[in-house]
């Protein structure tokens, strides 16, 4: 169960995907009703209640559970699949500095700690060491891709472009607390759980060097801290029931967006090679034996 939507959000629909990578319309209807009930009952939650509600809001649709992530962690993907992943990921997170810049402009001066966090996050993405997109391209090149291929927008799925557009929308148009909930809590805080499962496979199975796979190593740890700071900012500044509810809605929506995007990576690039994704423990014995 999760809580979504604030006043005026009647057009916002709940998650259509469940964690088994399948569409589930009945659940969607049921959750839509729950949303309406909870909306009318909303009160200001305590910090600890609100944190648990945010964690619950994305726990069922985390991108680490999407087919592409599962196949990656299981070592089933080929290097050309990684090139496609890197290309799409570039168009999804490449403008992260832009998103943060829009959020920065929308953050009032009295929330100085939030502004400083956004500025620091921006600096780390772009300038503090290797530019993060350069680390991503380094990985793509280690898989046989090229910088030109990765940077060419024509090579990205519509889902990746949709993800980018959604990020621009949320960062540019929503209250800074809501966009922090969406981009930092809903998306960035998921990253360590995804890459901690994928990184050992890259090193141990595919034999990438730590240098080639540095993009993942860096984000495993830095996004732990960014995610935690994001939680703190949302907990501090979401100080009305309406803001809390809207944050919860956008945490949920962010998780749904990333899940759907990650699932689409599998369907677009991997399924033609390997067939539909089936968990090891769900395969017929003859297939896994």
Q: Which residues bind another protein (CB under 8 A)?
A: 124, 128-129, 192, 196, 210-211, 214, 217-218, 221-222, 224-229, 231-232
Q: How far is the CB of 125 from another protein (least distance, A)?
A: 10
Q: How far is the CB of 124 from another protein (least distance, A)?
A: 6
Q: How far is the CB of 223 from another protein (least distance, A)?
A: 9
Instruction: State which residue, 56 or 124, has the beta carbon closest to another protein.
Output: 124
Instruction: State which residue, 136 or 163, has the beta carbon closest to another protein.
Output: 136
In whole angstroms, what is the distance from residue 57 CA to residue 193 CA? 16
**Maximum separation of any 2 CA atoms in the chain, in Å:** 63
Of 94, 97, 123, 74, nearest to 281 (Cα)? 74
Instruction: State which residue, 3 or 222, has the beta carbon closest to another protein.
Output: 222
Instruction: State which residue, 65 or 214, has the beta carbon closest to another protein.
Output: 214
Estimate the share of the chain in helix, then strand, then coil, as percent rounded to the nearest 5.
75, 0, 25
Instruction: State which residue, 59 or 128, has the beta carbon closest to another protein.
Output: 128
Q: How far is the CB of 231 from another protein (least distance, A)?
A: 8
234 vs 206, 227, 244, 245, 248, CA distance in Å?
Answer: 39, 11, 8, 12, 10
In whole angstroms, what is the distance from residue 136 CA to residue 217 CA? 11
Q: How far is the CB of 119 from another protein (least distance, A)?
A: 13
Q: How far is the CB of 220 from another protein (least distance, A)?
A: 9
Taking the alpha carbons of 71, 75, 78, 84 in that order, is the dihedral positive or negative?
positive
Instruction: State which residue, 221 or 240, has the beta carbon closest to another protein.
Output: 221
179 in Cβ contact with 247 (< 8 Å):
no
In whole angstroms, what is the distance from residue 51 CA to residue 165 CA? 27
Q: How far is the CB of 55 from another protein (least distance, A)?
A: 12
Of 132, 55, 59, 140, nearest to 97 (Cα)? 132
Q: Residue 17: beta bridge partners?
A: 23
72 in Cβ contact with 201 (< 8 Å):
yes
124 in Cβ contact with 146 (< 8 Å):
no
Instruction: State which residue, 42 or 203, has the beta carbon closest to another protein.
Output: 203
């Amino acid at each position: 169960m999760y809580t979504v939507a604030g006043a005026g959000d009647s057009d916002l629909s709940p998650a259509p995907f469940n964690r088994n990578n399948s569409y589930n319309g009945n659940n969607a209807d049921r959750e839509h009703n729950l949303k309406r009930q909870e909306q009318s009952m909303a009160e200001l939650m305590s910090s600890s209640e609100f944190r648990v509600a945010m964690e619950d809001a994305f726990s069922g649709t985390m991108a680490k559970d999407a087919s592409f992530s599962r196949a990656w962690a299981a070592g089933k993907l080929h290097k050309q699949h990684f090139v496609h992943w890197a290309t799409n990921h570039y168009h999804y997170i490449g403008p992260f500095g832009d998103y943060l810049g829009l959020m920065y402009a929308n953050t009032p001066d009295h929330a100085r700690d939030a502004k400083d966090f956004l500025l620091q996050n921006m600096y780390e993405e772009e300038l503090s060491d290797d530019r993060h997109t350069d680390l991503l391209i380094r990985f793509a090149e280690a898989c046989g891709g090229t910088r030109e291929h990765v940077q060419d927008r024509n090579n990205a799925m519509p889902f990746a472009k949709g993800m980018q557009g959604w990020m621009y929308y949320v960062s540019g148009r929503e209250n800074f607390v809501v966009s922090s909930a969406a981009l930092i809590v809903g998306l960035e805080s998921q990253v360590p759980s995804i890459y901690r499962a994928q990184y050992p496979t890259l090193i141990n199975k595919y034999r990438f060097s730590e240098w080639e796979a540095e993009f993942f190593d860096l984000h495993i740890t830095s996004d732990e801290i960014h995610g935690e700071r994001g939680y703190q900012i949302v907990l501090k500044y979401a100080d009305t029931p309406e803001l809390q509810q809207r944050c919860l809605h956008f945490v949920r929506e962010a998780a749904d967006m990333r899940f759907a995007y990650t699932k689409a990576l599998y369907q677009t690039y991997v399924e033609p090679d390997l067939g539909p994704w089936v968990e090891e423990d769900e395969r017929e014995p003859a297939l896994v034996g």
